[in-house]
Amino acid sequence: MQTVAPPEKKQVAEWYTPGVPRKPLWRTAAEALVCLVVAVAILEGVFRISGVGGQEFLTPSRTLGTTHLPGKNIIWRMEGFSADNLNSIGYRDIEHTVAKPAGVKRIAVLGDSHSEGLQVPLQDVYARRLEMQLNEGASHNFEVINFACSGYSTAQEYVQYTHEVEQYKPDVTVVLMHWGNTSANIVDPKKRNKAQPRPYFYIDSEGKLQQDNSVIDWYYAPGAENNAWSKAINWLQLNSRIYGVLTQTDMALNNNERVYFKWRGNFQRVLAFLQGKDPKAEVPGPSYAEQDPTKVTDALVVALSDKCAKTGSKLVVMLLPDPTGTASQQLAGELTALGKEHGFGLLDLSEAFKQHPQQKDLFLRVHLSSLGHKFVADTLQEYLQQNDLLTTSTPMADSSSAGDTKVAAKAPVDNSEDAPVATQHATDSFPGYETLKAPVSVKEPI
Amino acid sequence: MACRAIIGYRLTSPREQPETMLFSSFNYLVFLPIVFGLYWVLPNKFRKMLLLVASYIFYMSWLPKYGLLLFGLTVVNYFLGLLISSAEKRKKFFLTLAIVVNLGCLCFFKYTNFLLDSVWQGLKALNQTTGIQLVNMSQAPVYDILLPLGISFFAFEFIHYVVDVYKGSKPMKNFFDFALFGAFFPSQIAGPIKRFQDFSKQLVHPPVFSTKDFNDGMFLILQGLFKKVCLGDVLAQLIVDPGYANPAALGTMDAWIVFFAFTFQVFFDFAGYTDIGRGSALLFGYRVPINFNLPFLSANFLEIWRRWHISLSTWLRDYLYFPMGGSHCSPWKQRRNLFLTMALGGLWHGAAWHYVFFGCIQGVILAVTRDWQQFTDKHPTLSKMKPTPWWHWSAVVATFWTWTVLLVIFRAPSVTHAFQMYERGFGSSPAGEITTTFFNSTLPITMVAYGLFCAIHAWVEYMNKKELALPAVAMQIANFWNQSVPMKAVTYSAVAIAILAYAPGHVQPFVYFQF
């Protein structure tokens, strides 16, 4: 009998379960939708319970580039840990009234993430600590209001003073700076399309400090914050933990993965192109020569000092230690000289940090630890006391009273709205320094 | 000269490690789907070649010139394997040559500085005690030798290959197959140490796409990523690294959290790597051996080494312990064999004395455990107590605790440092920052979640093993899962987002990459 070998079973790719009929498309789509809704609900719930995805807290602003989301609950884990709410206006602080209570001395704190202090609990941030320390054993005589926001440059702090801080009528304004802030104050006019949306400054050919808002204007069309897309994003920022996780991942990958950084840039350029923007086209704005970041920063500090003086506030610039040392020393040297001239105080923390017995523990990875914040609060308190900025109540000065102070006659004045710059120099002498000899305009070498 | 070019001769300060394509990096997230897509799109005959090319791209993404080293060792072992197999008289010579080449490379790259430093320290000590000027250098000589990634693993695979060919296994005739065995990227950098007999079988029958393999692969990859990124990396960044960096700041509670954190970190890190590697291999239809089998449920150290880094322990057993005589010799020789195997195993982990010390302690414990087992087997009362659950679970707890305490020697940069850590752990000082950090972090939640996942997994396994019916709801979910592609897609995406949510800001290199 002839036997026939069975045909060799051909191995085939198994794309679906054999014998099971394929589902109609509508059913697959319905399944997908139900699964998606269930998955989103589960993830949102789990993330909320476990406190992740709550690191989204900034929203676009046409004035400042970005601002805090008022009332946002933030759970910060990227470096250190904190879990608390921004106040109803959007500051990382407790609630404060705009009107200053009688007999209270107010200190406004301006700065970036170092002063915002998301890496430590709110009560550990140096501004809160300072207020608690000043009010220790006494009635409520001092208020320290923290206006700091992540990523703020000196330029943003200067603009913020006019738009937000001034109305609180602070007696003392403290700005915590570091060397890294200086480069964020200027933008290369040819690279505006790659710059962060924030106000920039430059010194024009006449030596006047001018504001350049072109990047913000390019990024955010007027009224953009009220369109449906922005509102949806805002809603997601406030309410969705999944959205928070995705933006947080985007930030982490953008900072740490070179390939992602490159691809993301290309994707954004394609997106801009699809929106009708030519990614290679120059962003319209004023043209000016290459700027020296230090000079612009110095001019901004002088301008802020003048503005503070006009509103009856004393400016104190605090400098954080710079890991490289040299750049910070140069900035400290320049600001010390300018402080003597323009009547603002400078508290360089570099030496104090170096001499601290637990120097290594003052910082987490990049930002101040709880111990670091405590040390800054103690050092600042000591400085304010030594310079007599806490004992005597400074009479509040409105804009008219600023005229009582000596005004820099030499300084060029630009009152146009586009250039809200301080070009007049009030000459309130700063305690601890000699009385100002002669006001200097920003035209002078700074 | 070529050698000088490769190792970058005589620099006194160690170089920064170049970036590699970590399994948990964005680069791998791009690399794997591209290779996967190409693999199944290309005709069958090109697939192995694609995997080989992809494996070399993967390896050379770290340091291109070390691709030459891997290729060179592959060529040498391939031809020596053929020679060992075909030679009539000089088999032993070729085997010795192959072992010398592989171990020589491993020792040169891994142990040169260790050896120089040890000799220098010895001479210095002699100098101080005898007053004879034997060494006239203020610093030990240091060569800037960058350890090639995965050399400890592929060198061991090559040794296994030549030894097994010598013992009579058929050598791999196809060079490209052999090259793929040596370079296969899912197991290239940190194992598991493959056996060529298992791997070559899979090369003979070209794999076909299977949804089961795809699902199992995805499951393993996501599970591995969760272990590595959400548990291992977070433990490392928040607890272990800061804890070991500053022992003086640790309270007693902190120290114990750090000790246990490292035990879990090294497990999640390495088991996570293995899962991702095995999952990646499954996507291409290949099976790579397991490396861990619930090691923390071991009731003694002999069992722990059968469950922990299985591919290394079996390699050490087959190519070190057995050739020395294994357990077929006098009791003292058995103890000696165990001790030497573990001491060398310790040295394999790293070129430092604390690894050797760790290995020696393991050797002593294994020998004592074996004696204790023999004693309890013979003892009338103890032999009755042994099968009871409380005996078993007490042994599990004691074994886990001892393992954790011993791992301090493994993690600490030196033996002195390890004793500083013990001082904090066995002292009595108030809790510091580490305890607060631990409870503020996502770790309690992720560890409980992982524990629940393991419990459910074990329960399902148990029910299946006992052929018991699962509850109706579980059956319905399982059926729906098996039939619904959207559910799978949504679940994979949701798990991926969850991994992102609990990941730290920075990706950590895998612990076993340094070995």
Q: What is the pLDDT of residue B503?
A: 84
State how far residue A50 is from chain B, nearest Cα, in angstroms.
7
Residue B117 pLDDT greater than 90, yes or no: no
Contact B209 A255 (CB under 8 A): no
Q: With contacts defined as CB-CB under 8 Å, which chain A residues touch B501?
A: 43, 47, 52-53, 241, 245
Nearest CA in chain A to B444: A50
State how far residue A118 is from chain B, nearest Cα, in angstroms.
14
Contact A14 B442 (CB under 8 A): no
8 Å CB contact between A82 and A76: yes
Residue B51 pLDDT greater than 50, yes or no: yes
Q: What is the pLDDT of residue A408?
A: 29
In sequence order, what are the residues at sequence separation of 6 or more whose Cβ sits closer than 8 angstroms to the Cβ of residue B295? B267, B304, B307, B308
Q: What are the tens digits of pLDDT across the range A401-416?
A: 333 322 222 233 333 3
Q: With contacts defined as CB-CB under 8 Å, which chain B residues touch A36?
A: 490
Nearest CA in chain A to B21: A257
Preferred mutation among A16, A46, A123 to probe B, highest tally of B CBs within 10 A: A46
Rounded Cα–Cα distance for residues B261 and B434 (Å): 11
Residue closest to B200 by CA, chosen among B217, B175, B220: B175
In sequence order, what are the residues at sequence separation of 6 or more whose Cβ sits closer than 8 angstroms to the Cβ of residue A138? none
Q: What are the tens digits of pLDDT across the range B287-300?
A: 998 899 889 999 99
B382 touches A at CB < 8 Å: no
Using CA atoms, how far residue B300 sits from A74, A351, B292, B429, in Å, is: 46, 56, 16, 31
Q: What is the pLDDT of residue A316?
A: 95
Domain ranges of chain B: 2-206, 211-292+432-515, 298-414
Q: What is the pLDDT of residue A235?
A: 85
Nearest CA in chain B to A249: B500
- According to DSSP, residue A420 is labeled -
Using CA atoms, how far residue B169 sits from B83, B198, B199, in Å, is: 13, 12, 13
Partner residue facing B490 (CB), from A17, A32, A81: A32
Q: What is the pLDDT of residue A327?
A: 61
Contact B494 A42 (CB under 8 A): yes
Residue closest to A408 by CA, chosen among A440, A434, A436, A443: A440
B490 touches A at CB < 8 Å: yes
How many angstroms from the chain centroid is the CA of residue B193?
Answer: 9
Nearest CA in chain A to B434: A80
Domain ranges of chain A: 24-50, 97-217+289-404
- According to DSSP, residue B319 is labeled I
The DSSP bridge partners found for residue A105 are: A142
Assess whether B349 carries a catalytic annotation. yes
Nearest CA in chain B to A14: B210
Contact B500 A246 (CB under 8 A): yes
Q: With contacts defined as CB-CB under 8 Å, which chain B residues touch A242?
A: 497
* Tokens found for residue A431: 């305690």
Q: What is the pLDDT of residue B6?
A: 30
Contact A79 B482 (CB under 8 A): no
pLDDT along chain A (446 residues), means of 10: 48 52 82 92 90 83 90 83 89 93 93 93 94 83 94 95 94 91 89 87 91 87 74 85 88 80 84 73 84 91 94 93 67 86 90 85 87 94 90 42 30 36 34 30 27
Q: What are the tens digits of pLDDT across the range B171-210?
A: 999 999 999 999 999 988 877 899 999 898 888 887 788 8
Partner residue facing A78 (CB), from B482, B493, B505: B505
Tell me the pLDDT of chain B averaged across its residues.
85
Partner residue facing B25 (CB), from A28, A255, A257: A257
Partner residue facing A52 (CB), from B211, B212, B501: B501
Q: Region B312-333: what's the mean pLDDT?
A: 88
Rounded Cα–Cα distance for residues B308 and B319 (Å): 18
Q: What is the pLDDT of residue B507?
A: 55
State how far residue B500 is from chain A, nearest Cα, in angstroms.
7
Contact A14 B503 (CB under 8 A): no
Is the domain A97-217+289-404 a CATH 3.40.50.1110 member? yes
Q: What is the pLDDT of residue B387?
A: 86
Q: With contacts defined as CB-CB under 8 Å, which chain B residues touch A248?
A: 500
Contact A13 B25 (CB under 8 A): no
Helices (H), B8-90: 26-41, 44-60, 66-86
Question: Which of B160, B309, B349, B354 does the annotation list as catalytic?
Answer: B349
State how far residue B145 is from chain A, nearest Cα, in angstroms.
26
Nearest CA in chain A to B212: A14
Confidence tier at B508 by pLDDT (50, 70, 90)? low
The more confident residue out of B263 and A19 is: B263
Q: With contacts defined as CB-CB under 8 Å, which chain B residues touch A255?
A: 505
Q: What is the pLDDT of residue A429?
A: 36
Query: Which residues 77-136 of B are in CB contact (within 8 Å) with A?
Result: none
* Tokens found for residue B290: 């397991």
Contact A259 B500 (CB under 8 A): no
Rounded Cα–Cα distance for residues B165 and B169 (Å): 5
Residue B7 pLDDT greater than 50, yes or no: no
Contact A249 B491 (CB under 8 A): no
Q: Region B366-384: what's the mean pLDDT?
A: 89
Q: In degrees, to the nearest 5, what angle opens at C-alpha A181 toward C-alphas A178 and A187? A: 160
Partner residue facing A245 (CB), from B210, B500, B506: B500
Q: With contacts defined as CB-CB under 8 Å, which chain A residues touch B25?
A: 257
Contact A52 B208 (CB under 8 A): no
Residue B161 pLDDT greater than 90, yes or no: yes
How high is the ipTM of this complex?
Answer: 0.74
Rounded Cα–Cα distance for residues A10 and B354 (Å): 56
Preferred mutation among A10, A12, A14 to probe B, highest tally of B CBs within 10 A: A14
Rounded Cα–Cα distance for residues B147 and B156 (Å): 15
* Tokens found for residue A275: 């929106």
* Tokens found for residue A108: 């406004």
Nearest CA in chain B to A78: B505
Residue B1 pLDDT greater than 90, yes or no: no
Using CA atoms, how far residue B316 sits from A357, B124, B152, B353, in Å, is: 49, 34, 13, 20
State how far residue A206 is from chain B, nearest Cα, in angstroms.
46
- According to DSSP, residue A382 is labeled H
Helices (H), B227-330: 234, 241-245, 252-283, 301-307, 310-316
Contact B503 A15 (CB under 8 A): no
Residue closest to B228 by CA, chosen among B264, B186, B260, B279: B264
The more confident residue out of B514 and A353 is: A353
B478 touches A at CB < 8 Å: no
8 Å CB contact between B287 and B128: no
